[in-house]
Amino acid sequence: MLYIGIDVGGTTAKAGVVDESGNILCKSSCPTGIERGHEAVIHDMAQLALSVLGGSGHALNEICSVGIGIPGIQDPRTGRVPFCTNLGWHDVPLVELMQKEIDKPVYVTNDATAAGLAESIAGVSSGVRSSVFVTLGTGVGGGVVLDGKVFVGPHGVATEIGHMITVAGGELCTCGNRGCWERYASASALIREGRRLAMSQPNGALASAVDGDLAKIEARTVIDLAKQGDPHCSEIFDNYIHHLCVGLVNLINLYDPEIIVLGGGVSHAGAFLLDKVNALLPKLVFYKAMPYARVELAKLGNDAGIIGAAMLGRQED
Protein backbone atom coordinates (compact mmCIF):
# COMPACT_ATOMS: atom_id res chain seq x y z
CA MET A 1 0.00 0.00 0.00
CA LEU A 2 0.92 3.66 -0.40
CA TYR A 3 0.60 6.73 1.79
CA ILE A 4 0.21 10.44 1.17
CA GLY A 5 2.35 12.77 3.27
CA ILE A 6 1.78 16.52 3.49
CA ASP A 7 4.22 18.89 5.15
CA VAL A 8 2.71 22.33 5.57
CA GLY A 9 4.78 25.29 6.74
CA GLY A 10 4.16 29.02 6.95
CA THR A 11 5.57 29.58 3.45
CA THR A 12 5.40 26.31 1.52
CA ALA A 13 3.18 23.23 1.49
CA LYS A 14 4.71 20.00 0.22
CA ALA A 15 3.08 16.69 -0.58
CA GLY A 16 4.33 13.32 -1.65
CA VAL A 17 3.27 9.75 -2.34
CA VAL A 18 5.33 7.44 -0.16
CA ASP A 19 5.70 3.67 -0.13
CA GLU A 20 5.84 1.40 2.92
CA SER A 21 9.60 1.75 3.19
CA GLY A 22 9.49 5.53 3.26
CA ASN A 23 10.53 6.11 -0.36
CA ILE A 24 8.95 9.11 -2.08
CA LEU A 25 7.48 8.06 -5.44
CA CYS A 26 6.39 11.54 -6.47
CA LYS A 27 6.37 14.92 -4.74
CA SER A 28 5.46 18.53 -5.34
CA SER A 29 5.05 21.81 -3.49
CA CYS A 30 3.10 25.07 -3.63
CA PRO A 31 3.01 28.30 -1.66
CA THR A 32 0.92 27.94 1.49
CA GLY A 33 -0.75 31.34 1.16
CA ILE A 34 -1.88 31.46 4.77
CA GLU A 35 -3.44 34.91 4.31
CA ARG A 36 -6.34 33.21 2.49
CA GLY A 37 -7.47 31.39 5.62
CA HIS A 38 -7.36 27.75 6.62
CA GLU A 39 -10.13 26.48 4.34
CA ALA A 40 -8.37 27.61 1.16
CA VAL A 41 -5.05 26.29 2.47
CA ILE A 42 -6.50 22.88 3.28
CA HIS A 43 -8.24 22.73 -0.11
CA ASP A 44 -4.90 23.46 -1.82
CA MET A 45 -3.14 20.84 0.31
CA ALA A 46 -5.69 18.27 -0.84
CA GLN A 47 -5.35 19.32 -4.49
CA LEU A 48 -1.59 19.13 -4.22
CA ALA A 49 -1.87 15.65 -2.73
CA LEU A 50 -4.20 14.46 -5.48
CA SER A 51 -1.92 15.97 -8.11
CA VAL A 52 1.17 14.11 -6.81
CA LEU A 53 -0.93 10.96 -6.62
CA GLY A 54 -1.74 11.41 -10.31
CA GLY A 55 1.92 12.09 -11.04
CA SER A 56 2.90 8.88 -9.30
CA GLY A 57 0.72 6.86 -11.66
CA HIS A 58 -1.23 5.33 -8.77
CA ALA A 59 -4.90 5.57 -7.87
CA LEU A 60 -6.68 6.68 -4.71
CA ASN A 61 -7.71 3.10 -3.88
CA GLU A 62 -4.02 2.26 -3.42
CA ILE A 63 -3.69 4.92 -0.71
CA CYS A 64 -4.01 3.88 2.95
CA SER A 65 -4.11 7.26 4.58
CA VAL A 66 -3.16 10.92 4.49
CA GLY A 67 -0.68 12.22 7.06
CA ILE A 68 -0.09 15.90 7.74
CA GLY A 69 2.82 17.54 9.54
CA ILE A 70 2.11 21.03 10.88
CA PRO A 71 4.24 23.56 12.77
CA GLY A 72 2.03 23.01 15.82
CA ILE A 73 0.13 20.24 17.56
CA GLN A 74 -3.17 18.43 17.34
CA ASP A 75 -5.37 18.11 20.40
CA PRO A 76 -5.81 14.32 20.73
CA ARG A 77 -9.15 14.78 22.50
CA THR A 78 -10.78 16.68 19.66
CA GLY A 79 -8.64 15.92 16.59
CA ARG A 80 -8.55 19.68 15.98
CA VAL A 81 -5.56 22.01 15.74
CA PRO A 82 -6.03 24.32 18.76
CA PHE A 83 -3.68 26.98 17.41
CA CYS A 84 -0.80 27.18 15.00
CA THR A 85 0.99 30.50 15.04
CA ASN A 86 2.96 29.99 11.80
CA LEU A 87 -0.21 29.15 9.87
CA GLY A 88 -2.39 31.69 11.66
CA TRP A 89 -4.79 28.90 12.63
CA HIS A 90 -7.07 28.83 15.63
CA ASP A 91 -9.18 25.79 16.48
CA VAL A 92 -9.11 24.31 12.98
CA PRO A 93 -10.84 20.95 12.34
CA LEU A 94 -8.04 19.84 10.03
CA VAL A 95 -8.90 16.13 9.96
CA GLU A 96 -12.56 16.75 9.22
CA LEU A 97 -11.85 19.30 6.46
CA MET A 98 -9.20 17.14 4.81
CA GLN A 99 -11.48 14.09 4.88
CA LYS A 100 -14.13 16.08 3.03
CA GLU A 101 -11.54 16.49 0.25
CA ILE A 102 -9.94 13.04 0.41
CA ASP A 103 -12.00 10.28 1.99
CA LYS A 104 -9.19 8.45 3.79
CA PRO A 105 -8.01 8.21 7.40
CA VAL A 106 -6.17 11.46 8.18
CA TYR A 107 -3.40 11.74 10.79
CA VAL A 108 -1.87 14.97 12.04
CA THR A 109 1.31 15.59 13.96
CA ASN A 110 3.97 18.17 14.69
CA ASP A 111 6.48 18.72 11.87
CA ALA A 112 9.48 17.81 14.04
CA THR A 113 7.71 14.67 15.18
CA ALA A 114 7.09 13.77 11.52
CA ALA A 115 10.77 14.34 10.68
CA GLY A 116 11.82 12.16 13.62
CA LEU A 117 9.50 9.37 12.51
CA ALA A 118 10.85 9.65 8.96
CA GLU A 119 14.46 9.31 10.14
CA SER A 120 13.47 6.31 12.26
CA ILE A 121 11.92 4.55 9.25
CA ALA A 122 14.01 5.61 6.27
CA GLY A 123 16.85 7.69 7.69
CA VAL A 124 19.75 7.62 10.09
CA SER A 125 17.80 6.01 12.94
CA SER A 126 16.26 3.37 10.70
CA GLY A 127 15.67 0.13 12.58
CA VAL A 128 16.15 1.81 15.98
CA ARG A 129 13.20 1.47 18.35
CA SER A 130 13.79 4.59 20.47
CA SER A 131 15.05 7.86 19.07
CA VAL A 132 14.85 11.57 19.68
CA PHE A 133 15.03 13.91 16.71
CA VAL A 134 16.16 17.45 17.51
CA THR A 135 15.74 20.28 14.99
CA LEU A 136 18.25 23.06 15.52
CA GLY A 137 16.55 25.82 13.55
CA THR A 138 14.91 29.15 14.38
CA GLY A 139 13.75 27.34 17.49
CA VAL A 140 14.44 23.84 18.77
CA GLY A 141 11.84 21.21 17.99
CA GLY A 142 11.63 17.59 18.92
CA GLY A 143 10.31 14.33 17.59
CA VAL A 144 10.29 11.39 19.97
CA VAL A 145 9.87 7.77 18.94
CA LEU A 146 9.62 5.31 21.82
CA ASP A 147 9.53 1.59 21.21
CA GLY A 148 8.86 2.16 17.52
CA LYS A 149 5.92 4.53 17.98
CA VAL A 150 5.61 8.29 17.85
CA PHE A 151 5.36 9.61 21.41
CA VAL A 152 3.39 12.82 21.91
CA GLY A 153 1.91 12.12 25.33
CA PRO A 154 -1.73 11.76 26.38
CA HIS A 155 -2.43 15.49 25.87
CA GLY A 156 -0.26 15.70 22.75
CA VAL A 157 2.13 18.28 24.24
CA ALA A 158 5.22 16.11 24.81
CA THR A 159 7.18 17.52 21.90
CA GLU A 160 8.23 20.83 23.37
CA ILE A 161 11.79 19.84 24.12
CA GLY A 162 12.94 23.30 22.98
CA HIS A 163 11.05 24.82 25.90
CA MET A 164 12.75 22.61 28.45
CA ILE A 165 14.33 25.11 30.84
CA THR A 166 18.08 24.55 31.07
CA VAL A 167 19.16 27.95 32.36
CA ALA A 168 16.59 29.00 34.98
CA GLY A 169 16.51 32.79 35.08
CA GLY A 170 18.37 33.01 31.75
CA GLU A 171 17.51 34.55 28.37
CA LEU A 172 13.87 35.54 27.88
CA CYS A 173 12.08 33.16 25.52
CA THR A 174 9.23 33.85 23.09
CA CYS A 175 7.07 31.63 25.33
CA GLY A 176 7.42 34.04 28.24
CA ASN A 177 9.71 31.83 30.35
CA ARG A 178 13.38 32.42 30.91
CA GLY A 179 16.18 30.04 30.00
CA CYS A 180 14.44 27.68 27.56
CA TRP A 181 16.86 25.37 25.78
CA GLU A 182 16.01 26.85 22.38
CA ARG A 183 17.29 30.24 23.51
CA TYR A 184 20.74 28.60 23.70
CA ALA A 185 20.69 25.73 21.21
CA SER A 186 18.89 27.18 18.17
CA ALA A 187 20.31 28.95 15.14
CA SER A 188 18.75 32.07 16.67
CA ALA A 189 21.06 31.71 19.67
CA LEU A 190 24.12 31.78 17.42
CA ILE A 191 22.72 34.82 15.60
CA ARG A 192 21.99 36.63 18.88
CA GLU A 193 25.46 35.96 20.28
CA GLY A 194 27.00 36.87 16.92
CA ARG A 195 25.20 40.23 16.94
CA ARG A 196 26.30 40.89 20.49
CA LEU A 197 29.86 40.16 19.48
CA ALA A 198 29.70 42.33 16.38
CA MET A 199 28.23 45.19 18.39
CA SER A 200 31.00 45.00 20.96
CA GLN A 201 33.68 44.60 18.26
CA PRO A 202 32.57 46.67 15.28
CA ASN A 203 35.94 46.14 13.58
CA GLY A 204 36.20 42.43 14.37
CA ALA A 205 36.13 39.54 11.92
CA LEU A 206 32.40 38.87 12.31
CA ALA A 207 31.32 42.48 11.83
CA SER A 208 33.63 42.69 8.82
CA ALA A 209 32.20 39.50 7.31
CA VAL A 210 28.79 41.19 7.05
CA ASP A 211 30.17 44.63 6.13
CA GLY A 212 28.99 45.99 9.45
CA ASP A 213 25.33 45.05 8.74
CA LEU A 214 24.38 43.06 11.83
CA ALA A 215 21.09 42.00 10.26
CA LYS A 216 23.09 39.90 7.81
CA ILE A 217 24.61 37.71 10.53
CA GLU A 218 23.39 34.16 10.16
CA ALA A 219 24.21 31.08 12.22
CA ARG A 220 26.34 30.01 9.29
CA THR A 221 28.37 33.25 9.43
CA VAL A 222 29.37 32.52 13.02
CA ILE A 223 30.00 28.83 12.34
CA ASP A 224 32.15 29.52 9.27
CA LEU A 225 34.35 31.94 11.20
CA ALA A 226 34.63 29.46 14.07
CA LYS A 227 35.71 26.82 11.54
CA GLN A 228 38.35 29.26 10.30
CA GLY A 229 39.65 29.61 13.84
CA ASP A 230 38.40 33.09 14.73
CA PRO A 231 38.78 33.05 18.52
CA HIS A 232 35.63 35.04 19.31
CA CYS A 233 33.35 33.03 17.02
CA SER A 234 34.99 29.85 18.33
CA GLU A 235 34.09 30.92 21.85
CA ILE A 236 30.49 31.54 20.82
CA PHE A 237 30.30 28.17 19.10
CA ASP A 238 31.93 26.29 21.99
CA ASN A 239 29.48 27.91 24.37
CA TYR A 240 26.69 26.89 22.00
CA ILE A 241 27.98 23.31 22.06
CA HIS A 242 27.99 23.36 25.86
CA HIS A 243 24.35 24.43 26.01
CA LEU A 244 23.38 22.02 23.25
CA CYS A 245 24.97 19.16 25.23
CA VAL A 246 23.24 20.24 28.45
CA GLY A 247 19.91 19.69 26.73
CA LEU A 248 21.05 16.47 25.05
CA VAL A 249 22.13 15.00 28.39
CA ASN A 250 18.72 15.92 29.77
CA LEU A 251 17.11 14.01 26.89
CA ILE A 252 19.33 11.04 27.78
CA ASN A 253 18.43 11.30 31.48
CA LEU A 254 14.72 11.38 30.70
CA TYR A 255 14.14 9.42 27.48
CA ASP A 256 17.26 7.24 27.40
CA PRO A 257 16.94 6.85 23.61
CA GLU A 258 19.20 4.62 21.54
CA ILE A 259 19.97 7.51 19.23
CA ILE A 260 19.64 11.29 19.16
CA VAL A 261 19.41 12.72 15.64
CA LEU A 262 20.37 16.35 15.02
CA GLY A 263 18.57 18.09 12.16
CA GLY A 264 17.71 21.65 11.16
CA GLY A 265 19.91 24.48 9.94
CA VAL A 266 22.71 24.23 12.50
CA SER A 267 23.13 20.51 11.76
CA HIS A 268 24.52 21.52 8.35
CA ALA A 269 27.72 22.38 10.24
CA GLY A 270 28.23 18.60 9.94
CA ALA A 271 31.28 16.99 11.48
CA PHE A 272 32.40 20.33 12.95
CA LEU A 273 29.26 20.20 15.13
CA LEU A 274 29.11 16.47 15.72
CA ASP A 275 32.75 16.06 16.73
CA LYS A 276 32.44 18.76 19.35
CA VAL A 277 29.21 17.25 20.70
CA ASN A 278 30.81 13.81 20.87
CA ALA A 279 33.81 15.25 22.71
CA LEU A 280 31.76 17.00 25.39
CA LEU A 281 28.63 14.87 25.86
CA PRO A 282 30.37 11.85 27.47
CA LYS A 283 31.64 14.13 30.24
CA LEU A 284 28.10 15.19 31.13
CA VAL A 285 26.39 11.79 31.03
CA PHE A 286 25.33 10.49 34.44
CA TYR A 287 26.02 6.75 34.04
CA LYS A 288 29.39 6.98 32.36
CA ALA A 289 29.99 3.22 32.44
CA MET A 290 26.60 2.35 30.92
CA PRO A 291 25.69 2.56 27.25
CA TYR A 292 23.71 5.62 26.24
CA ALA A 293 22.39 7.31 23.11
CA ARG A 294 24.73 7.88 20.23
CA VAL A 295 24.34 11.20 18.42
CA GLU A 296 24.06 11.36 14.63
CA LEU A 297 23.22 13.93 11.98
CA ALA A 298 19.89 13.76 10.16
CA LYS A 299 20.01 12.19 6.73
CA LEU A 300 16.72 12.88 4.96
CA GLY A 301 16.86 16.68 4.80
CA ASN A 302 13.81 18.50 3.49
CA ASP A 303 11.97 15.33 2.50
CA ALA A 304 11.73 14.16 6.10
CA GLY A 305 8.51 16.11 6.72
CA ILE A 306 6.67 14.45 3.80
CA ILE A 307 7.96 10.97 4.60
CA GLY A 308 7.21 11.18 8.33
CA ALA A 309 3.72 12.58 7.79
CA ALA A 310 2.99 9.75 5.34
CA MET A 311 4.33 7.13 7.74
CA LEU A 312 1.89 8.19 10.49
CA GLY A 313 -0.60 5.95 8.73
CA ARG A 314 1.79 3.00 8.63
CA GLN A 315 2.08 3.21 12.40
CA GLU A 316 -1.64 2.65 12.77
CA ASP A 317 -1.79 -0.35 10.43
Residues of this chain that bind a copy of itself (CB under 8 A): 73, 75, 77, 82-83, 129-130, 146, 151-158, 160-161, 163-170, 175, 177, 184, 242-243, 246, 249-258, 284, 286-287, 289-292
Q: How far is the CB of 116 from a copy of itself (least distance, A)?
A: 14
d(CA 212, CA 107): 47
Q: How far is the CB of 43 from a copy of itself (least distance, A)?
A: 27
Residue type, 314: R
Q: How far is the CB of 126 from a copy of itself (least distance, A)?
A: 16
Nearer to a copy of itself, 9 or 170 (CB): 170
Nearer to a copy of itself, 198 or 281 (CB): 281
Q: How far is the CB of 285 from a copy of itself (least distance, A)?
A: 9
Q: How far is CA 225 from CA 6, 190, 210, 215, 216, in A?
A: 37, 12, 12, 17, 14
Nearer to a copy of itself, 242 or 268 (CB): 242
DSSP type of residue 268: G
d(CA 56, CA 52): 6
Handedness of CA 11, 17, 23, 27 (dihedral sign): negative
Nearer to a copy of itself, 121 or 310 (CB): 121
Q: Among 135, 59, 148, 109, which Cα is nearest to 306's?
A: 109
Nearer to a copy of itself, 40 or 254 (CB): 254
Handedness of CA 48, 49, 51, 55 (dihedral sign): positive
Q: How far is the CB of 271 from a copy of itself (least distance, A)?
A: 25
Q: How far is the CB of 18 from a copy of itself (least distance, A)?
A: 27
Widest CA span of the chain, in angstroms? 64
Cβ atoms < 10 Å from Cβ of 158: 17
Nearer to a copy of itself, 187 or 246 (CB): 246
